[in-house]
């Protein structure tokens, strides 16, 4: 028969992650960010913002975390609008860093919001180091880009 321990648990163990230098946290954040999965990579900086106020400050100060932009035209309605806002947020916080951009139209035609997104991205074309476009020529995207 087991005896229940009625003693209170020991004081909370130290949280060692809080003791890490900011520079090391940034390197950890960048390692998570540089994953090869484009969906995760797009989301990592936003996830970091919601962990603690300290992580939020660090993530907002590190422009490299905001240099990858991914848009999928399958996102409709509110998700499309929030995706465009998220991309705008990334463009601001990436400061003057080189940008990697991936746009997947799927089989949908270009929407007005997509046109606005392209215009917004074109304003930063001098920073593009990689651009991946997945589109049917028939849907009119090339007219915006060319």
User: Which sequence spans correspond to the domains of the chain?
Assistant: 20-65, 67-146
Phi and psi, residue 76, nearest 5° = -120, 160
Asked whether the beta carbons of 37 and 18 are under 8 A apart, the reply is no
Q: Which residues, in sequence order, are CB contacts of 4 under 8 Å at separation 6+?
A: none
Asked whether the beta carbons of 114 and 73 are under 8 A apart, the reply is yes
What pLDDT digit, counting tens, does each position of 73-128 carry? Answer: 765 555 667 788 889 999 999 999 999 999 887 766 666 777 788 889 999 999 99
Among 87, 32, 29, 17, residue whose Cα is nearest residue 59: 29
Averaged pLDDT, 7-27: 76
Question: Is the entire prediction scored with pTM above 0.85?
Answer: no
């Amino acid at each position: 028969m087991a005896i229940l321990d009625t003693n209170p648990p020991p004081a909370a163990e130290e949280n060692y992650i809080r003791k890490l230098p900011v520079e090391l946290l940034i390197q950890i954040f960048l390692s998570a960010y540089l994953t090869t999965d484009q969906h995760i990579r797009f989301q990592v900086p936003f996830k970091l913002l919601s962990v603690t106020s300290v992580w939020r400050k660090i993530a907002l100060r590190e422009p490299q975390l905001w240099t990858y932009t991914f848009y999928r035209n399958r996102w409709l309605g509110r998700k499309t609008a929030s995706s465009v806002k998220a991309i705008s947020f990334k463009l601001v916080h990436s400061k003057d860093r080189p940008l990697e951009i991936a746009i997947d139209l799927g089989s949908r035609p270009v929407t007005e919001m997509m046109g606005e997104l392209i215009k917004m991205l074109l304003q930063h074309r001098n920073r593009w180091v990689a651009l991946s476009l997945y589109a049917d020529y028939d849907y009119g995207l090339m007219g915006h880009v060319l």
